[in-house]
Amino acid sequence: MNDVAAAGVYQSFIGLEVHIHLLTKTKVFCGCRSAFGDEPNTNVCPVCLGYPGVLPSLNLEAMRMGCMVAKALNCRIPEKTWFERKQYFYPDMTKNYQISQFASPLGQEGCVDMEGRVSGGAGGELIKRKVRIRECHLEEDAGKMIHTGTVSLLDYNRAGVSLLEIVTEPDMENGEEAELFIQQLRRIVRYLGVCDGNMEEGSLRADANVSVNSRGKGLGRKVEIKNLNSSRFVRLALNHEITRQTGLLAEGKTVVQETRLWNENRDQTEPMRTKENAQDYRYFPEPDLPVFSPGGAFLKSVEDALVELPLHRTRRLAAEYALEEEQADMICEEKACADYFEAAAGAAPRSAVPRVVNWLLQDVRRIMGRDGIALGDIGTIRLTPARLASLAAAAEKGGVSGKNARETLEAVMLEDRDPLDIIREKGWERISDPGEIARAVGAVRAAEEAAFGEAKAAGAEGNAKRLRTLTAYLVGKVLAATGGRADPKIAGEQIAAAIENM
């Protein structure tokens, strides 16, 4: 059966479990520093190492950030939320249990609108879908195991780091949708400033659950795929797995419920282990942490920290500034870039906005790329939004040529000075004041008596070609006298009038 026929007979379901490291300064239940890449086992204490008798205490900042994400995903925050112990043995977790949330997670029953395209996906088609969020829960991360040859090394710096797990309902159908979900979630948490979204460093990790069943028969037997450290791998692994499961069903076989790993070298999923059920974890309420009731002041601090979300902002800016879909998307890729754009576009006259858009997406981004400045740091560049706006306005009014304006962009980045000063200094500023040009014309008139006389004679004889040549010569003199700044059109008109009136 080919893929198209299979898609008609079978239906696929995907649910994601996304873990994000919250950007709290300290860990979730102790005061240890929460940082990536420090010397192994330097950010540890009796609490996160699970010594007997120590007491965890909740990091309120982690709870607040978790609730921000929950709100952004339209979840309900319950009146009471608490923690459970999830029991299992693994050397990366010294307590033999993980403090997590089970019965009343901090965010419940949300949903998120997805809209966009994934490059590299099936033809870059526009995807629109609503994905329900089952829950968001706060937990502690485990340590890190590094296997080298015959020894395994343990680094507990990551043990106890604030982790928020976001669990979706199985509402997605293919790898492209799952990739888009992760990309959009990544943008949201970065906009909120609660996670850096770095998948290679493991700040955002996704496990993907997928099943296939005969169409109309509901969910199938699910397989969980782990080890997905890029959104592209999520897409590839899921599409591979859907094809594999569909093939099994088409042959009359059943899918084994198991955990599989994505093998990025072979482009395929491979079995890892059969999975525990919830009962196996023997969840029970964490006795050392009190129930948390998010009160009015706490909820207000969550509300106050929220920002306009990326999808909303993309749509709004597209409508407000008549942007193309791709332009709006690029501008809103990072909050800092959208902020920069809005500040520049807001300071520029309406007619100069297209110029702001083009310069930002082409010249400014190119210069930043060349100089190794990240898009997230666009707010710190010397070419401030106000400077970009004033330059765009000057170019729009014809105060400087387009070519010189682009050179000015570079000069501002290099010299950290006002673009209009640079234009003036370089002699790129156009003089369009008729009085000022008239003074230059007067000076040329005095110095070029002979040329004026010849031009007058050429005009009288009806020698248009000779008249044009002489006029151009005289305009050239005016431009030279003004350092190339006089508006050539006005200068030409004045020279013509001066010849006429001789």
Stretch that binds ligand ADP, among 216-224, 303-311, 330-338, 494-502 (CB under 6 A): 216-224
**Residue 175 sits in the site that holds ligand ADP (CB under 6 A):** no
Indicate whether 211 belongs to the interface with ligand ADP (CB under 6 A).
Answer: yes
User: How far, in whole angstroms, is CA 398 from its chain's centroid?
Assistant: 35
CB 149 within 8 A of CB 85: no
Q: Residue for token digits 């296939």?
A: 212
Question: Per CB under 6 A, does 167 bind ligand ADP?
Answer: yes
148 CB-near residues (< 8 Å, 6+ apart) = none
With CB under 5 to 8 Å by kind, the binding choice for 106 among Zn ion, ligand ADP, none is none
Size of the site for Zn ion (CB under 5 A): 5
Q: Is 136 in the site for Zn ion (CB under 5 A)?
A: no
81 close to 201: Cβ distance less than 8 angstroms: no
Using CB under 6 A as the binding rule, whether residue 210 contacts ligand ADP is answered as yes
Neighbouring residues of 241: CB distance < 8 A, sequence distance ≥ 6: 210, 223, 225, 260, 269
Q: Which does 225 bind (CB under 5 to 8 A by kind): ligand ADP, Zn ion, none?
A: none
| Element counts in the chain: helices (H) and strands (E) | 17, 13
Closest approach, Cβ 219 to ligand ADP, in A, equals 3
DSSP state of 39: S
CA–CA gap between residue 448 and residue 388 (Å, rounded):
41
Query: What are the start-end ranges of the H helices in 335-432?
Result: 335-347, 353-358, 365-370, 385-396, 402-415, 419-426
Strand partners, 127: 116
Could you give the CA distance from residue 379 to residue 374 in angstroms, rounded to a whole number?
A: 10
174 is an interface residue for ligand ADP by CB under 6 A:
no
CA distance 225 to 319: 39
Judged by beta carbon distances under 5 to 8 A according to partner kind, the member of ligand ADP, Zn ion, none in contact with residue 102 is none
Nearest-angstrom CA–CA distance, 327 and 333: 10
Number of residues that bind ligand ADP (CB under 6 A): 17
45 binds Zn ion (CB under 5 A): yes
Nearer to Zn ion, 31 or 476 (CB): 31
- Residue 330 is encoded by which pair of tokens? 């690029």
Contacted by 170, from Zn ion, ligand ADP, none: CB < 5 to 8 Å by type? ligand ADP
169 forms part of the interface with ligand ADP (CB under 6 A): yes
Nearer to ligand ADP, 211 or 384 (CB): 211
Quote the least distance from Cβ 99 to Zn ion, whole Å. Answer: 13
Q: How far is Cα 141 from Cα 277, in angstroms, rounded to an integer?
A: 20
Neighbour-count burial of 374, counting CB atoms closer than 10 A to its CB (0-12 exposed, 13-18 middle, 19+ buried): exposed
| C-alpha–C-alpha distance, residues 340 and 335, integer Å | 8
> Which of 16, 48, 138, 188 is the binder for Zn ion (CB under 5 A)?
48
| Alpha-carbon span 371 to 360, nearest angstrom | 15
Among 35, 219, 306, 497, binds ligand ADP (CB under 6 A): 219
Q: Is 407 near ligand ADP (CB under 6 A)?
A: no
- Which of 43, 209, 408, 494 contacts ligand ADP by CB under 6 A? 209
Task: State the Cα torsion 236-237-239-244 to the nearest 10°.
Answer: 140
Given the complex with Zn ion, which of 47 and 212 has the nearer CB atom? 47
Nearer to ligand ADP by Cβ, of 205 and 222: the residue is: 222
Does position 62 interact with Zn ion (CB under 5 A)? The reply is no
Rounded Cα gap, residues 356 and 352, in angstroms: 6
Give the binding range for ligand ADP (CB under 6 A) out of 60-68, 81-89, 99-107, 166-174: 166-174
30 binds Zn ion (CB under 5 A): yes
Instruction: Verify binding: residue 93, Zn ion, rule CB under 5 A.
Output: no
Among positions 13-32, residues that touch ligand ADP (CB under 6 A) are 13-17
258 binds ligand ADP per the rule CB under 6 A: no
First to last CA, the chain: 91
Which of positions 100-119 make contact with Zn ion (CB under 5 A)? none
- Which residues here bind Zn ion, judged by CB under 5 A? 30, 32, 45, 47-48
- Which residues here bind ligand ADP, judged by CB under 6 A? 13-17, 167-170, 209-211, 219-220, 222, 275, 278
